[in-house]
Structure 1
Amino acid sequence: MRFFKVFFAALLAFIVFTGLCIFFLIILIGKAVTSEKVTLSPNGVLVLETSQPYQEQKLVNPLANFLPDEEGEVPGLYQTVRLIDYAAYDDNIKGIYLKTDNNANGFASNEEIRNALIRFKKGGKFIYAYGEVMTQQAYYLASVADKVYLNPKGGLDFTGFSMQLTFLKGALDKLEIEPEIFYAGRFKSATEPLRETKMTDANRQQTTQFLGELYGNFLTGISNARHIDTATLHGYANENLIQESADALKYKLVDGLKYDDEVVAELKSKTGIKAEDKLNLVSLGKYNSGTDISNGTNANKIALIYASGDIISGESDRKNTIASDNYIAEIRKAREDKNVKAILLRVNSGGGSALASEQIWRELALAKKIKPVVVSMGDYAASGGYYIACMADSIFAQPNTLTGSIGVFGMMFNLKGFFNNKLGVTFDGVKTAEYADLGGINRPLNPAEKRFVQNGIDSTYAAFKSRVVAGRKLDPAVVDSIAQGHVWSGTEAKKIGLVDRIGGIDDALDCAARLAKLSTYRLAEYPEVKENLSRLMKNLGDNVSTRIVKKELGINYDLFQQLKEVQSMHGQIQAKLPFIYKF
């Protein structure tokens, strides 16, 4: 009897304790979710940090108030652009202070922010930039500033662009793992790391071309801002003349060598604040909380649909993933909403599943029959990313967007040698039809099976090209010549007809409004950013596990990610870039 009394008392205590934990957790999260309205004071200087990654949509982390080193709400890229544009006419903001050390953003994303900064300057307000150790992409943003300052003991990287791929073929050979690879498109180089030990001539040719174009855009932007011709700038890099902070000053890439406190003192003087008073620095997050950049309650809407990340089939609640079922639902919602007069699809994707891309293309094609569809391309809109974009009424890209890559591939892995000879594992079984075990990892494909797989690749490639022919209204022979898996810069893509205009999200939005004959409208953004408890817990767990793996693997983390990605591609037809380039 005493046992049961103790047992039930303990059980009751456990239930009460659990209930209290859940209660207090809900209160904490509710407190974190509830955002207080921030009041902005005069003489503010808006602070932008180039090391902050600006993803397509805002990031919301209600647990940030209770966890160290966690970000709260971080504005998305277009949200940041709108905040900069708003600040240009906000009497509370006197200028911008750019903290330009690292840069976590891609080329086209930087172009969006840089163009917004140029517009800000035209409004008559100042921009000061300061960095301790500036990367090239950070300096690209800093170069638009009225004053660019560098730490006297810091440095500026100005050595030009390079790109490196990791090839796994040698390791697979040693492990007796045989990748069986199928592809369509002479330049479709996504499988090269598995089948070659160095870049093929075709891949080297296309990479040299687009890397040179990205670098040319980089030099031109700096040339226009700093009034130094591009040949001279290229000479600085080619001869490695910028080795110390003093060199950056000597060659007029910066305006002075100062410490942070000296820059702050100059900003105080610039804004009329006494030396002993505190400078009113306004973070982007705080400015976002204290500013209303919404465009009212107009009944007419333009749907801005963000499509960022890998394209996959089915559903997913992971960020930076374009899951076909999710996006079909979002596009359909915009298509069936009579108040949505046009759709702007923002694509920032290197592609993924060819089937998922086709499914999303289909839903967008249905929407186009009813209302205008315009595409704005981000850092990447290539392979599957271009597949879903090609049907649009008008396509906008930045000059340094990477796009095209019209081609497909598939791969399977024969692990028989690895299991037999390395692990001592053997396989045996029965089947009811000749090809019932096609795609198994325990044996190589026979010639007939290889033909089946290649036929599927060729059929998917033909379908991809047909979508481009219809969407871009180009001759099939022309599409075939510019397809072949070739990666193009935005500038070149416009020349060959894959893109209509060079411009950013604002330009694409103006186009969508014109096509819909709208003089006024409000923006409706999809997918909705939701942070419920289960997703918060899941994302927190994902973040913790990712950090642990990164810490353990260090510089080998990218290779680990590449191997995981290869594993996930087994047996699926892919329309995908040869991994995401890092410069």
Structure 2
Amino acid sequence: MKQFFTYVLATIAGLWITMIIMTVGSVLMTIVMLAASMATPTVRIDKKSVLHVCLDGPVEERAQGRSILEELQGISINTIPLNDLVKAIDHAAADDRIEGIYLDCQGGSGGAASMAYIRESLEKFKESGKWIVAYGDAYTQSNYYLASLADSLWLNPVGAIDIHGVGGTLPFFKGLLDKLGVEMQVVKVGTYKSAVEPYIMTEPSEANREQIKGYITPIWNYISGGIAAGRDVSTADVNEWADSIIVTQDPATFAARGLITSLKYRHEAEEWMKSVTGKKKKDNLSLVSPAKYASAIKEKSSSNKIAVLYATGDIVDSGNEGIVGDKMAPLIMSIAENDDIDALVLRVNSGGGSAFASEQIWEALEQFKATGKPFYVSMGDVAASGGYYISCGADRIYCQPVTITGSIGIFGLIPNIKGLLNDKLGVNMVSIATNPNANMTLTEPFTPVQRAAMQRMIDRGYETFVGRCAEGRGVPVDSIKAIAEGRVWDGTTALEIGLVDKLGSLTDCISDLALEQGYDKYSIVEYPDPKGEWWEELLMASSSVKQSVIKAELGEALPYYEAIQRVKQMSPVQCRMEYIVVE
């Protein structure tokens, strides 16, 4: 009998081991198959091809890796990688296989600096003598800004063009918080540090109105000036289009007014491109997307390697989204220790976030500078508050004229939910402690002593912030304080007041660095790797499903949901500019 049980147990154990091996094998097989499916195929570029720039989604700094979940579900990520797009346009100018560029305007969007960067690349492309044409059924303002420099700009006969100027939308939550019985306790430094206003006010302060008007006006002047130059009209004409709600008007009048070249249906636009590329009417155009074209560009290897480190999104202490302090700081240290890397360009597109994480990243960058390697910063759409904190120590800082930067200030935002618990839910919280401040909780308002202590901590954080900026910019602390106070600036003004060194794109920043270091040739190494490890993707899979569902369900209300989520996840002390949709 004993031997029988021994055989039974051995059999069961064997079955379990077999099942485990089969499961592990299946997982590994799936990973191998996915890896093979995600491998970049060889891209063939035919002669007389057209670079097809399809503006049908949001512009992001660079392509993000597709997760295993997205591969399995066949989810399409409809974003436009800025780095691939600019790389493709720049390379196509000297490629005999590319005849011209087709701007297919389908409502894509992007920040003002991203659009300016793309437009600069398009302008350089035109200098090669090749053509650019644009077609749209309905042009958004950002699409039209790019399309305005096209040699031919076509609109569907029943289409529309939206030109409206630049404005900002701010959500204010105080009314909601009052109804919930939640009081947001604020300690801050900076007259213009307005990121706290949505939680304690019902409308912007006069100082905030002043600063918003102060930076959106030059941004619009830059955009309207670009449109005017592209269409060979005056800026007064462009402003008249915006003021007259041009999107509602009859497109039959647009050609005579200079908005478009002519009205065409899409097939007519494509037939024109067939004719100039030698295609027969029944043939298909040889269209190549920027992403595929960029993947076919073979980078020349060089002993001089410049690391481009992307710092995009909210600055947080830990997590998987945005600029994660406990991941970014070690990554910078590893780049510093990499003998193959000769220089670093930090590409910043962030409105800030955690003050603690910002300090850790700043310190890691100081360690990089201690190696003697050059360190430059290129600012994207926004590099403000914590985004400026991590930038300020650079040897040189570049930004676009329409970049939003500055916001040198700091605040703490701590909710008091006593009203919610007591008045709304009937829950009475009682604290018993040995010392007066042993229980500083969310269920009781600050005492005067506690508020004073918090203010001292915020003041100390502000002094650290302005000190870092003064040290990095090589100016007295008082000079930084004169332009700080949490105020946000446009890029052109930032240059005038010394927050940045030069107006220019990421391409300009890298080129200047290479020139000043005497690199005849150089290659770019991008960090961090947009694709994580396979096991990280599996762990993030459920989160990806949740995010996809939320985005689909909330639609236009998504930004307000995300604003509330940011507050829930904030660390107590923040270097962050206000959330504002500028369009």
Using a 3 Å threshold, how does the CA distance of structure 1 residues 460 and 12 change in structure 2: closer, same or farther? closer
Q: How far apart, CA to CA, are the structure 1 residues paired with 2:373 and 2:14?
A: 65
Q: Is the 8 A contact 2:61 2:81 kept in 1?
A: yes
1: CA distance, partners of 2:71 / 2:426: 53
Q: 1:373, 1:499 → 2: CA distance?
A: 14
Rounded to whole Å, the distance in 2 between the matches of 1:508 and 1:364 is: 18
Using the size of structure 2 for normalisation, the TM-score is 0.93
Q: Are the counterparts in 1 of residues 56 and 106 from structure 2 also a CA contact under 8 Å?
A: yes
Number of the residue aligned with 2:387: 385
- The aligned runs of 1:552-571 (5 Å cut-off) are 552-569=553-570
Pair 1:247–1:68, CA change in 2 (3 A): farther
Find the aligned partners of 2:413 and 2:246 in 1 and give their Cα distance: 46
Give the Å deviation of 1:311.
1.1
2:30 pairs with 1:29: no
Residue 329 of structure 1 corresponds to which residue in structure 2? Answer: 330
1:367 lines up with 2:368 in the alignment? yes
Structure 1, residues 97-131: CA drift from partner, whole Å, max 9, x if none? Answer: 11112123211111111111111111111111111
Change (3 A) 1:456 1:12: closer
Q: Distance between the aligned counterparts of 1:495 and 1:62, measured in 2?
A: 44
The correspondence of residues 61-72 of structure 1 with structure 2, limited to 5 A, is: 61=66, 63=68, 66-71=72-77
Mapped to 1, the partners of 2:266 and 2:536 lie a distance apart of 39
**How far is the alpha carbon of 1:493 from its aligned partner?**
0.3
Are 1:290 and 2:291 an aligned pair? no
What is residue 281 of structure 2 aligned with on the other side? 275
The equivalent residue for 2:345 is: 344
Alpha-carbon deviation of 1:539? 4.6
Deviations, residues 71-90 of structure 1 (Å, cap 9, x unaligned)? 49x77422321221111111
The aligned counterpart of 2:167 is 162
Structure 1 residues 522 and 13, CA, compared in 2 at 3 Å: closer, same or farther? closer
**SS class of match (1:191):** helix
Q: CA deviation at 1:62?
A: 6.4
Once the two structures are superposed, residues 329-349 of structure 1 have per-residue CA deviations (whole angstroms, 9 ceiling, x without a partner) of 222222223332221111111
Which residue matches 2:98? 93
Q: For residues 330 and 532 of structure 1, do their structure 2 counterparts lie closer, same or farther at Cα, with a shift above 3 Å needed?
A: closer
- 1:258 aligned to 2:264? yes
In the alignment, what sits opposite 2:454? 453
Aligned match of 2:529: 528
| 1:514 Cα offset (Å) | 3.4
- Distance in structure 2 (CA, Å) of the matches to 1:103 and 1:214: 19
Worse overlay, 456-465 or 49-58: 49-58
The equivalent residue for 1:475 is: 476
Select 2:305's aligned residue among 275, 279, 301.
301
Q: Is the 8 A contact 1:304 1:345 kept in 2?
A: yes
Answer yes or no: is the 8 Å Cα contact 2:168–2:580 preserved in 1.
Answer: no
* Shift in Å, 1:411: 1.0
Which residues of 2 match residues 164-203 of structure 1 at below 5 A?
A: 164-203=169-208
What's the counterpart of residue 55 of structure 2? 50
Q: Give the alignment of 1:232-243 within 5 angstroms.
A: 232-243=237-248
Is residue 117 from structure 1 mapped to residue 118 from structure 2 by the alignment? no
Report the Cα offset of residue 235 of structure 1: 1.4
- Return the alpha-carbon distance in structure 1 between the equivalents of residues 468 and 540 of structure 2: 36
* Conserved? CA contact 2:155–2:264, under 8 Å: yes
Distance 2:194 2:108 in 1: 27
Q: Distance in 2 between matches of 1:509 and 1:341?
A: 12
Helix, strand or coil for the counterpart of 1:304?
strand
Aligned equivalent of 2:134: 129
- Within 2, Cα distance between the matches of 1:229 and 1:149? 20
Q: CA deviation at 1:521?
A: 2.0
Distance of 1:123 and 1:386 partners within structure 2: 36
Q: Per-residue CA shift, 1:406-432, capped at 9, x if unaligned?
A: 001111111111101111112224223
Of 476-485 and 405-414, deviating more is 476-485
* Identity in percent: 36
Secondary structure of residue in 2 paired with 1:104: coil
Q: Residue 421 of structure 1: which of 420, 423, 438 is its match?
A: 423
Partner residue of 1:81?
86
Deviation at 1:543, TM superposition (A): 3.0
In the alignment, residue 577 of structure 1 is paired with which amino acid?
M
CA distance in structure 2 between the aligned counterparts of 1:376 and 1:555, rounded to whole angstroms: 30
Between the aligned partners of 1:404 and 1:581, the Cα distance in structure 2 is 17
* 1:21 to partner: Cα distance: 3.9
Task: From the superposition, tell whether residues 65 and 179 of structure 1 become closer, same or farther in structure 2 (CA, over 3 Å).
Answer: closer
**Cα shift at 1:57:** 2.9
1:52 offset after TM fit, Å? 3.3
Secondary structure, counterpart of 2:378 in structure 1: strand
Verify: 1:209 aligned to 2:214, yes or no: yes
Residues 3-18 of structure 1 mapped to structure 2, 5 A cutoff: 15=20, 18=23
